[in-house]
Structure 1
């Protein structure tokens, strides 16, 4: 039971996705030569540090989030069985675990370089102490949450190549724009549950056509953004073609939501978002290494 509660505290599936995107970007950054790595050699020890440190940092942010939202989680069927609202774990226990994960994770990531450590602390603060309280106040919370949500690939890249260059901004930009249809699809599916806690995550606060249109527009914006690696010459036509195909499929799912305004279409868009991001990131990595 202790292990299951820890898994729920750190939101294991979400944490896995975060670490995955950071690790892929680390491998991309390792291929970009600079003075300390002129041959573009992958340091696998540092890669392991990134994975462990990234897991701990993300787990800490999720732990702080659950401490702050304990009473709200108790109101929603989706979250009522988490360890804090169910009473299986106290606030003090969760706080100690989260602090230990945050401190050790920051130490590991900071040992790679100071920029990586700084960005990691910034991600925790923004997610736990800005995005979390804003969820009850305004749909702008999705914009705020998209920033720490898009930091993992940036953190992974600068862990290998300690400079925020054009490639770093591209990997950040793709995940940043992706956050919006991803967030809003989930919010559409879970809107009834979210309203029990007073969360306002849909663009208008309601399952209406305007929310669906805004979701479609951001999915449309994602299409050219996903092609930036090819446009700027960091990826070839292979990653460009795959990104285009998956962006069109993703856009079609968003169009269906705009046309039908139903939970089934939102759920399809949600699952489409889960598939879209890792495929595009992996194709960028494979194409980048093959250049």
Structure 2
């Protein structure tokens, strides 16, 4: 088995050399950035790309993967640049804000969710356009479409503009204030947070503001105002960003440092992990104590049981990260997604329990009927006059 594996690696390396010499694809962007030339990769005496591994007989893993596959489809590249999975979480937080504010119209909820996701995808694409020269310096990002030259910056700009236009238009149809807030959040992410990453370690706090805005957009879509429970959810998401991102930043600290980003994770790892613990405790306070203070109707023991268990595990993961950051940084980062999913689901289910949902639907239909009746009466009176 080892002999077969070694033979396979050698075959991939020879194929890589031939394809590099023939010019059928460019070399690994990480390697280009480090060595300054794609031709160096084709030389037999050259050590392979230092991104991963130390196996002397194997070529750059990025080049080896290119030997086995063609460039991704346009849909796959659009999804990768827009960070579709992350954008789906952003859209879910906007939906949570809509539900908490008392929204019951399915079409409006769909418009808020889709519009927010499109705006988020646009912001992420614009971010990758700006950071393309630095993405090629990092293992985590060097395979993105722009560093790999699968897509031109002009095409990426067109995609970002189209997503922003569609998302803003969709939000404007249901709530102009929500659409305006989404555009502001796009500007904050692309024009403030993105360049600040290379200037100050405070960039994480500005990025956290971006994460707290989508629930406010969902709240605006209900009645044009933001209720205290929606503000509470926005505050929770602002706080959640810090332990979430600090775990990622420490895990990728060498990448960020190589690309010139200013992250607390490698300037002061102890403080970064301490913030994760402190803010995990704060999230427990926000989800267990503050809902009642904010006027939320918390029904049943199940909500407190689920959120208490989720918060206990999040605090535990943060403590592990603080005590052994090298070993547990990624675990804290990954679990933060699980934690967020559980808490958001608990909050929304608490607001859409069958009896409450039915009552809200009845109230909504009654209000629509009353408005329609008043309009009809006004029309009849005008006609008689």
TM-score by length of structure 2 reads 0.69
State the partner residue of 1:118.
180
State the partner residue of 2:254.
192
Equivalent pair of 1:203/1:214 in contact (CA under 8 Å): no
State the partner residue of 2:272.
211
State the partner residue of 2:318.
254
Equivalent pair of 2:284/2:311 in contact (CA under 8 Å): yes
Higher-Rg member (1/2): 2
Range that drifts further, 93-102 or 160-169: 160-169
TM-score by length of structure 1 reads 0.91
State the partner residue of 2:379.
none
Q: Which runs of 4+ in 1 moved over 6 A?
A: none
Aligned length, in residue pairs: 279
Q: Secondary structure at the match of 2:161?
A: helix
Equivalent pair of 2:232/2:294 in contact (CA under 8 Å): no
1:277 to 321, 340, 356: 340
Q: Secondary structure at the match of 1:3?
A: helix
Shift, 1:114, TM fit: 1.9
1:238 to 302, 310, 313: 302
Equivalent pair of 1:229/1:284 in contact (CA under 8 Å): no
Equivalent pair of 1:28/1:285 in contact (CA under 8 Å): yes
In structure 2, the CA distance between the partners of 1:203 and 1:222, relative to structure 1 (3 Å rule), is farther
**What do residues 85-132 of structure 1 show as CA deviations (whole Å, max 9, x unaligned)?**
111111111111111111121111122112101110011000111111
Give the root-mean-square deviation of aligned CA atoms. 1.6
Shift, 1:7, TM fit: 1.1
- Unpaired stretches in structure 1, ≥5 consecutive residues: 32-41
Shift, 1:233, TM fit: 4.2
- Unpaired stretches in structure 2, ≥5 consecutive residues: 1-72, 357-385
2:207 to 135, 145, 162: 145
Equivalent pair of 1:139/1:204 in contact (CA under 8 Å): no
Equivalents in 1 of 2:266, 2:304: separation in Å?
A: 33
Q: How does 1:215-230 map to 2 (within 5 A)?
A: 215-227=276-288, 228-230=290-292
